[in-house]
Amino acid sequence: MPYQTIMDTLSSSPQVNVKEFLRPILLGLAEEDLDELAQAGVVRAFPAGAVICQEGEPGDVAYVVVQGRVEIIQRLDDQSERFLRSAGSGEFFGEMAILQEGVRSATVRAAEPATVLEIGRRPFLTVLGRSPALGIRILVRMTTRLRDADQQAIAELRKANEELTRMLRQLERLDRTKSDFIQLSAHELRTPVAALLGYTQMMRENPQVQNSPQLRALVEGVVTGTARLHRVFNSILDVSRVMAGNLRIHRTPVSISIVMDGIVLEFRRALEERALTLEQRGIQDLPIYSGDPDLLYKVFYHLVNNGIKYTPDGGRITVTGRTVDVPDLGRCIEVTVEDTGIGIAPQDRDLIFEKFYRTGEPTLYSSGTTTFKGGGPGLGLAIAKGGVQVHGGRIRAESPGYSEEICPGSRFIVQLPFVEEPQ
């Protein structure tokens, strides 16, 4: 519609007997109050789609729909619109802003050609102050409107929850498919890699290789790389079992001290090369624990490896053991792995236990698993968490923060509850 036509329509005032129009709507209102509202009222016509009042504008006018319908909407943060309700002949809108002495909380526009009665703030409040009946009528209408709004909000929330549930189930199916694919791929790849590792280890012992420094260096590189690849596939299979909830424990008497001695022996070369100190405190005094030795080895292997990986050369990793009473868990073995490394940012403290999560920029990391900020798939702490939880225990990380300059360090606390063996 041309601009001039719209302006002509808006400026036209249909002939409406305002007093007689308001009488049934405001039944019981005194004649002098009806006269005052009628004299103050201005009738305006709006074409379909025209904005009658805008969200955020001062609320200095109350409206009553004479003919047609209007729609009340709100603008959302993403600039989309949320439909609140519609109003037809005889219904008020815009009075809330007057009563609250605030701005409009919604936009109202004509859903079809509409005629609207406008009543200014002062006469509206004057009559309202003299007429309790008008106040009660407006209160009832507001209560009904709030009830309808609540029902609409509940319906929308229910619909949103249903959609979220549907999407969650779909994501769970996709995640399960992804986990199955990862597990199958890792299993299929691990088999030939294990064979390759065995053959290369045999080659390393061959006299011809031993007598040739060049061949020995080449074969040693192949053995090291293959062994690392084999560990990655094993980690993927471990974490896939954690993801699928398929970790099973076979409890036998376990010496945490012997487990730690094996881990120290495995990392001895890396510790020497990087001048790192690995100290044990109280581990020898821990009682025998009933747990799965393989899983417990993996738990503490990955925690110590994490400490080595994120501690600069010349630093210290301290493993401390003690027995403690823990609420909800009872008597526990508590093992703390503490380092003098770069620490953990507060926002990463829980995320580091998620599979494939890495702090910092992975492309900047070195390729060695025991070098400073060394590489890896980001599965170690997820496996450690799964191994602790399947024993009924808890694991948490503590750190003052992240800094590669001052190296505030971090602590990983594992609590494993004692269990009573069946008689």
CATH of the domain at 368: 3.30.565.10
Q: In whole angstroms, what is the distance from residue 358 CA to residue 310 CA?
A: 12
In a domain, 219, yes or no: no
Cα–Cα separations (whole angstroms), residue 155 to 83, 164, 243, 316, 422: 13, 14, 35, 58, 52
Domain termination site, one of 130, 146, 171: 130
In a domain, 255, yes or no: yes
Domain termination site, one of 130, 164, 179: 130
Q: pLDDT digit of tens for each residue in the chain (423 aa)?
A: 343 333 343 334 566 788 888 888 887 788 888 888 888 889 999 999 999 998 888 888 889 999 999 998 888 877 788 888 888 898 888 887 887 777 888 899 999 999 999 998 888 888 887 877 677 667 666 676 667 666 766 777 788 888 888 888 888 777 777 666 666 666 677 778 788 888 888 888 888 888 888 888 888 888 878 877 777 777 666 666 666 666 778 899 999 999 999 999 989 999 999 999 999 999 999 999 999 888 899 899 999 999 999 999 999 999 999 999 998 899 999 999 999 999 998 888 878 887 665 655 544 444 456 676 665 666 788 888 888 988 999 999 999 998 889 999 999 999 999 986 544
Q: In whole angstroms, what is the distance from residue 70 CA to residue 73 CA?
A: 10
Q: In whole angstroms, what is the distance from residue 137 CA to residue 122 CA?
A: 19
In a domain, 178, yes or no: no
In a domain, 166, yes or no: no
- Rg of the chain in Å (alpha carbons): 37
Task: Please give the tally of structural domains in the chain.
Answer: 2
Entry pTM:
0.54
In a domain, 176, yes or no: no
Residues of the domain holding 8? 3-130
Closest CA to 230 of 262, 192, 202: 192
Cα–Cα separations (whole angstroms), residue 411 to 168, 210, 310, 332, 404: 34, 43, 12, 18, 16
Of all residues in the chain, what percent are helix, strand and coil, respectively (each to 5)?
A: 50, 20, 30
Contacts of 69 (CB under 8 A, 6+ apart): 86, 87, 88, 110, 111, 112, 114
Q: In whole angstroms, what is the distance from residue 320 CA to residue 186 CA?
A: 34
In a domain, 183, yes or no: no
8 A C-beta contact, residue 256 and residue 302: no
In a domain, 126, yes or no: yes
Domain termination site, one of 72, 106, 130: 130
